[in-house]
Amino acid sequence: MNADAPAKSEEEVDDQNEITAEEAPKGFKAKLLAKKKLIIFVVLGLVVLGGGGAGLYFSGLIKPNGAHEVEVVLPDPPVFQEIQRITVDMKPSPDHVRPFIRLSMQAELQGESAKLAFIANEAKIMDAIQSHLRDTTVEELEGEQGTERLRKDLTTIINRAITPEVAIGVLYKDILIR
């Protein structure tokens, strides 16, 4: 700087450094205008996309992942089917030389369609139950645990025969083991 020149205040220096848009070179004006247009287009695009997305969401075309509609089908009420009385010789053991079992029971089935499947497969079910009882010893049926295990085994035999229908369980009417 020139030593003879009076010192200028900071405001005067800032005022001299400011260039108005009219005094700016033409290239600078073009760049400034291009930046303004770019900002306007970006903001406008975001507004359009956001509004369109909100419109699709509220119209129901876009569903969030949170809630799903599920159709619940309740099972048919249980029905009962009489099983004919079964008398079978059981597997002999040292304590019981010639044991036999006589059973009277009902099958509890899940609906009329299961009952129809049971009736259609009754011969197969009876054969499977008798085969199972012939391989059972008296000792295996003793006590509450033995009869409960037999109940589960008989239910499994029925379920295998009537698949895809369902047997809920077997209800004893009479059990005689000799």
pLDDT, position 76: 87
Domain that holds residue 23: 10-59
CATH of the domain at 97: 3.30.479.30
State the amino acid at position 3 in one-letter form: A
Q: What is the C-alpha separation between 101 and 178, in angstroms, rounded?
A: 7
- Show the tokens assigned to 25: 């070179």
pLDDT at 120 over 60: yes
Return the residue matching tokens 């239910």. Answer: 155
Q: Which of 79, 99, 54, 65 is nearest to 162 (CA)?
A: 79
* Average pLDDT of the residues in 4-23: 54
> Are both 53 and 87 inside the same structural domain?
no
Please give the backbone phi and psi of residue 87, each rounded to the nearest 5 degrees, phi first. -125, 120
Does the pLDDT at position 140 exceed 90?
yes
Q: Give the start-end residues of each E strand in the chain.
A: 78-89, 100-110, 167-177
Asked if the model's pLDDT at residue 46 lies above 70, the reply is yes
Does the residue 73 lie in any domain?
Answer: no
Q: Over pLDDT 90: what percentage of the chain?
A: 56
Length of the chain: 178
Does residue 50 form part of some domain?
yes
What residues form DSSP beta bridges with 35? none
Is pLDDT above 60 for 57?
yes
Q: Is the pTM of this model over 0.85?
A: no
- For range 101-114, the mean pLDDT: 96
For the chain, how many structural domains are there in total?
Answer: 2
DSSP of 71-95: ---PPPPEEEEEEEEEEEEPPP-SS
Note whether 116 and 79 are within 8 A (CB).
no
171 in the same domain as 83: yes
